[in-house]
Each structure stands twice: as C-alpha cells, then as structure tokens.
Amino acid sequence: MIENNLDNLLGQFIDYMVVERNVSPKTIEAYANDIIDFARFLAQEEEVPWQDVDLTKVDVLSVRHYMSHLSNKGMKKSSMSRHLVALRSFFRYLCREDVLQASPPSLISMPKAEKPLPKFLYSEELEALLSAPSDDYAGLRDKAILEVIYAAGLRVSELTGLNVGDIDFQVGYCRVIGKGNKERLVPLGKPALKALEHYFGAREGKGQALKRDDPVFLNRSNQRISSRSIRNIVDKYMKQAGMFQHISPHTLRHSFATHLLENGADLRSVQEFLGHSNMKTTQIYTHITKSRMKSVYDKTHPRA
C-alpha cells in the first residue's frame, strides 16, 4: 500500500515511469514539475503545504479551474496540453495502485492547438527582395521567378508547372493548374510581365526557341526547374537583400494574400486568386491583417 502523502506518491510515480515505462529524464522532470504546480494550485485553496493536498477531493471542476488558471497566465496551449498529459498519467497510475477510484484529468479535453499565423513580408522587405537579382541571365530568370510567385500568389508546384503557353502577355493573365488539377486564371501585373519578357528575351538570345509546351522556368541544364531550386533562390536573395530571417517561397504567397486584404480586396476575390476550395482557409489572412493593424495602432496612437 502506498502512503498517501503526495510527495511519496510522486516519488513512487517517478520510479514507475523510470523502471516500467523507460521515460526520458527530461520528460520525467517536466511531469514532476507540472504535477507539483497543480498541487500548489490546490494547496492555495486548502491552505496546506502542497505535499498534504488531498487528491481524493480532486474532481473535474478542480482540473478545469487549474487549466483556466494556466490560460489566464498566458500559457501556450501546447504547454497546457503537456500539463494535462502529466496529470492524466499521474492519476491513472494512482487508480492502478488503488489510491484513487477515478482519474478526473482523463475527463478533460485537450486544449485545441493554436494554428500559427502564416509569415509574410512587409512591402519594403518585398521590394528589397525583388530588387536583389542582377541583370545577367540567371538574375533575369530569378527576378521573373520572384515576381511571378508574388504577383500571382502561386504555390511552388504551380510555379514550376507553368508552361510558356500558360502566359498570356496580351491579356496579362497566367493559367495555373492547382491542387486537385483545378485550373484558374490569375492576373500577373506589369512588373511580373516585364520580368518575364526580359527573361524570355534572354532565352531567345541564347538560341532557345520558346514553344507553348516548354517550361517557363529552366534550370542550368535547361530542364524544368525544381521546387528545391526555387527554395534555394528565395534563400539566396533574402540574404543578398540583407534579411536573414528564414522564409519559404510560400511566404511570398502569404504576402500576396495579406497585401491584397490590407489594400481593400474582398475575401472572396482573394480566395479565387489563391485557388482555395474553402473560404475558411482564406480567412486566416484576416487574422494577419488584424494583427498588423493592432501593431500599427499600438506603435502610433497616443493613447494606445
């Protein structure tokens, strides 16, 4: 029979985790700290040392109050989930040892994980990135790549899949094959069209005839460029522009959507541009713009 002092119970639980579960020392330390934190929370109400907390009095409401306490402290939901996992493991163990009859933490749902907001570049950062490529052949290609991703809000796979015949210079659109083999038409804008014209002109200058089924963007071996190469290109010019934050080509797609909404585009139009089948996927960009507005307000309003 295990003595019911919480300090002794915790020691027995740690021995069980080490010997029978082979849990890592770091995880055991984290679990122990989380369990003690819960006990201290209960001890404040009972006005006793945490070691003397009566676990038989713990119910679902007690655990909910504790989780609310963690939330009010500003704890991330991922950390709150770890606390709950520790309590579930501890209380299940106590039930196994017949110390307790029930495990209230097991009846509490895990906090829903927060979805991180997509990264995006501010307009000034984007201008620095787009201005970084040189005027040689590789630079003309790379500038066209960056301009087209941002101008049309393309996924990397959509960019690498573009063929020459998909670009309509007269109308100013490109034909994109997105997820699920769905086709959409996206405007390109003058800077992107100009960059493509310069790149195509350089290709023709090297004696390369441009056929409709040819890839728009080629690698050094004159084969269709890969997604990995696009990522390397973005990394290269971010560094050249003096920006050492890590971004992916998808960040330019996020920037496209964010900037459209910031400048008054309606959500439905942005959904069409991005090729999202579900409006909920597009709505995350409204959170970015609200966050940006709040940041600007806090920095500039005298009474923020």
Residues with catalytic function: 155, 179, 250, 253, 276, 285
User: 22-48 b/e with 16+ CB inside 10 Å = b?
Assistant: ebeeeebebbbebbbbbbebbbeeeee
Alpha-carbon distance of 222 to 240, in angstroms, equals 25
Nearest to 110 by CA among 80, 143, 150: 80
Other beta carbons within 10 angstroms of residue 119's beta carbon come to 15
Tokens representing 16? 């069980």
Amino acid at 290: K
Nearest to 174 by CA among 182, 138, 183: 183
Alpha-carbon distance of 92 to 101, in angstroms, equals 9
Where does the chain have alpha helices with state H?
Answer: 6-19, 25-46, 60-72, 77-96, 123-130, 137-152, 156-160, 190-205, 227-240, 249-262, 267-274, 279-300
Amino acid at 268: R
